[in-house]
Amino acid sequence: MADRIIINEVGPRDGIQSQDGELSLEQRRLFIQALLDAGIRHLEMGSFVSPRAVPQMAGTDDLARSLEVPADVHLSALVPNTKGYELAREAGVKTVAVVASATDTMNQKNIRMSLDQTMRVCLEIIERGSREGVRVQAYLAVAYECPFEGSTNPAVVIDLAAQLLESGATELVVADTIGAANPAQVKQLMGTLAASHPVERLACHFHDTRALGLANVYAAIEQGIRRFDASVGGLGGCPFAPGAKGNVATEDVVMLCEQMGFETGVDMPALLEVVDLIGSMLGRTQGGRAHYWLSKNAA
């Protein structure tokens, strides 16, 4: 574990949910298959949310049923509430993700519930997952800064993290939803969490709004974190969070980790082909900060 970084690819959900156009179910399936062919083994394939709110995620149940994946692949889907959880279970999804924002306003804007209400829903789904054999990843959104309330109190994040992990969440993902964190903040927060909880249950989700995404990944690695969300080509952004730009690019994170001596299991040339594929599907060029160099030098 110490020498391996687990990349959780979120392009098929977080990456495309904020795009102007909508991909067909067959395009989404081909996108996911290409990522798996490139060596990705942890992947967020969609979300069970209202298609009226997020039309890009319509038909995720049919998509889940159509996917045939190897036993070593872990597919997850975001669920906003117990109805979403039940739909995911019916579709055969074995890992779900719940999201609680660390500020009250962000929860209201995102899912029209208070922080307390959101936490009750998350804890209920975690408890059900524990009983019913479903892995539940718990996300803490706006963990560093909220677009509506400003800087997030670290003490609140630490308290919410403890509640989610102690209730049985398989994994806690600390999310810098609008890309506002800096490496010093990441070092402090993730170091504190790693001192109190098993590091293998901690993960990070960074956006690259201020060009600090990779620096924040490095700061988290230094604190023992070995699980990271990333989105191929830097796709992403939250439609409910003003200022949330693309996720840190998968190819950038893979490059950083492997040049530092870690294993990711990802085939870089094949991953770059996926960047081209999703770019053609969306009708615009995609790529992380190192894409030009990688396209010239990745063998």
Active site residues: 238
Alpha helical stretches, state H, 78-233: 82-90, 104-111, 115-132, 154-166, 183-196, 213-222
Token pair belonging to 227: 């699980």
Q: CA–CA distance from 168 to each of 133, 174, 194 (Å)?
A: 12, 16, 17
* Distance, CA of 293 to CA of 299 (rounded, Å): 11
Helix (H) or strand (E) holding 292: helix 291-297
| Interior angle at CA 242, CA 255 and CA 257, nearest 5 | 10
Token pair belonging to 169: 């969440």
Q: Tell me how many helices (H) and strands (E) the chain has.
A: 11, 10
CB 233 within 8 A of CB 11: yes
Token pair belonging to 210: 């201020």
* Distance, CA of 102 to CA of 174 (rounded, Å): 10
Q: Give SS3 for 42.
A: strand
Q: CA–CA distance from 196 to each of 161, 187, 200, 299 (Å)?
A: 10, 14, 12, 41
What are the beta bridge partners of residue 263?
Answer: 4
Residue keyed to tokens 């894409």: 291
